[in-house]
Amino acid sequence: MSNLTIELSYALDTFYFLMCTVLVMWMAAGFAMLEAGLVRSKNTVEILNKNALLYGIACVAYLLVGYNIMYPANPVSSVIPGLDFLLGGDNSTESVVAGGDDAPYYSSMADFIFQAVFAAATMSIVSGAVAERMRLWPFLIFAVVMVSVIYPVEGYWKWGGGFLDELGFQDFAGSVVVHMAGAAAALAAVILVGPRKGRYGPNGEVRAIPGANLPMATLGMFILWMGWFGFNGGSELKIANVEEANAVAKIFVNTNAAAAAGMVVAALFARALFGKTDLTMTINGALAGLVAITAEPLAPEAGTASLIGGVGGLVVVLSVLALDKLKLDDPVGAISVHGAAGIWGIFAVLITNSDATFMGQLIGTVVTFAWMFAASFIVLLIIKATIGLRASDEEEMEGMDVHECGMEAYPEFTSGK
């Protein structure tokens, strides 16, 4: 292969990687719109602030230390990563054109920024689950620890070449490494913060607390769906030959098929259960289908991908109902979408990927959940014991916007002007 061909291939793979990064970054807007639509109007500014600031904090924390923990140059062991700070230089022309199996085929800076937006997405999962009652700055302090250390450690175990990767644990784009990991942290936070006032009655009855802006929530769902093409497609890492281009196209098809099936199945199941077509279940069905196919979006054919996504749609409805039975208040369904559907997705890999084993998938899932839940619980418990996690009863009643941010999202509707 000529040097020009190698350089063109490198440039194309890097460009593709960067464009997928942009799509995944755009998911931050999806999370913000989804969550802002599913909370009450008095908490809109606070949840938008939370989503904006967590993205910025995640990018800074991952740049300073998180990336080097997740992809250490000199790991201590397959369990304990190394510790380093900031980024080194990028690949030289000589290293690229040298060829061979070890030659880089895309920019290391492109790899960093792609992984950084994944880290931010993981933290975004926690945001919606604790909406309307967890204070802003304790949440952001937790975000620093989560993205600097907690998430990168478990990411290293699989994607950085650690012991879960050596074990044969298969997770293509992060049904467990990203989605269930974020849900496990969210579950720890939900347990420690407790449910919103009035969410559950004294006899266990579940009281609906409708979101203020369902058009915005629906927009958020479609933005996330769009971003997922970069999430799964970018995880192929290459596109600059016929085989890889075909693989990326197949990933896009399967990602879309799973989302569509998850949405339709969740809507049908919700109608069968409730007699109504619940829009929030429709939205979460699509997202659950996306989470489920993320563990293996390349190996299945489109029909199988649809089946995997459709089961994800069933799982998310059942999970939402089960969490309410347990009085675990998750205003946006984040734990169900990313956790329950993520667990289904990781075991669905066994259907189409012959390299996956049941024990490998089980160990990877249990270890990741245990680490993310326990580490998050400990950090959040320390924050709770020192500065507190939850808003006061007065703050919760009057809304987080005024007390945390000093402004309202829709002042013309509340001021009487």
pLDDT (tens digit per residue) in 2-18 = 888 889 999 999 999 99
Find the helix or strand (DSSP H, E) in which 330 lies.
none
d(CA 108, CA 274): 50
Is pLDDT at 100 greater than 80 in this prediction?
Answer: no
State residue 410's pLDDT score: 87
State residue 149's pLDDT score: 98
H helical segments located in 329-392: 334, 341-352, 358-386
Is pLDDT at 68 greater than 50 in this prediction?
Answer: yes
Supply the pTM of this predicted model.
Answer: 0.95
Quickly state the pLDDT bin for 351 (edges 50, 70, 90).
very high
403 by Cβ neighbours in 10 Å (0-12 / 13-18 / 19+) ranks as: middle
CB 308 within 8 A of CB 351: yes
397, two tokens: 């009643």
Is pLDDT at 101 greater than 90 in this prediction?
Answer: no
Q: For 104-118, write each residue's pLDDT tens digit.
A: 889 999 999 999 999
State residue 411's pLDDT score: 87
- Taking Cα atoms as reference points, which of 362, 352, 368 lies closest to residue 297? 352
In eight-state DSSP terms, residue 382 is: H
Average pLDDT, integer, range 372-399: 96
State residue 279's pLDDT score: 97
Q: For 284-307, write each residue's pLDDT tens digit.
A: 999 999 999 999 999 999 999 999
CA distances from 238 to 10, 102, 294, 395 (A): 9, 15, 17, 49
d(CA 197, CA 41): 16
Average pLDDT, integer, range 64-78: 95
d(CA 218, CA 211): 12
- Taking Cα atoms as reference points, which of 305, 343, 293, 296 lies closest to residue 322? 343
Q: For 227-236, write each residue's pLDDT tens digit.
A: 999 999 999 9
Quickly state the pLDDT bin for 415 (edges 50, 70, 90).
low
Average pLDDT, integer, range 372-395: 97
Radius of gyration of the chain (CA): 21
Q: What are phi and psi of 235, to 5 degrees?
A: -70, -10
List CB contacts of 166: < 8 A, sequence separation 6 or more. Answer: 78
State residue 416's pLDDT score: 47
Q: For 217-226, write each residue's pLDDT tens digit.
A: 999 999 999 9
State residue 414's pLDDT score: 65
CB 286 within 8 A of CB 259: yes
Q: For 126-175, write each residue's pLDDT tens digit.
A: 999 999 999 999 999 999 999 999 999 999 999 999 999 999 999 999 99
Lowest mean pLDDT among 56-60, 93-97, 123-127, 399-403: 93-97
**Strand boundaries in 81-197, DSSP class E:** none
State residue 88's pLDDT score: 86
State residue 202's pLDDT score: 87
List CB contacts of 251: < 8 A, sequence separation 6 or more. Answer: 232, 233, 235, 236, 297, 298
Max Cα-Cα span within the chain? 74
% of residues, the chain, pLDDT over 90 = 90
Quickly state the pLDDT bin for 417 (edges 50, 70, 90).
very low
- Taking Cα atoms as reference points, which of 248, 281, 218, 289 lies closest to residue 30? 218
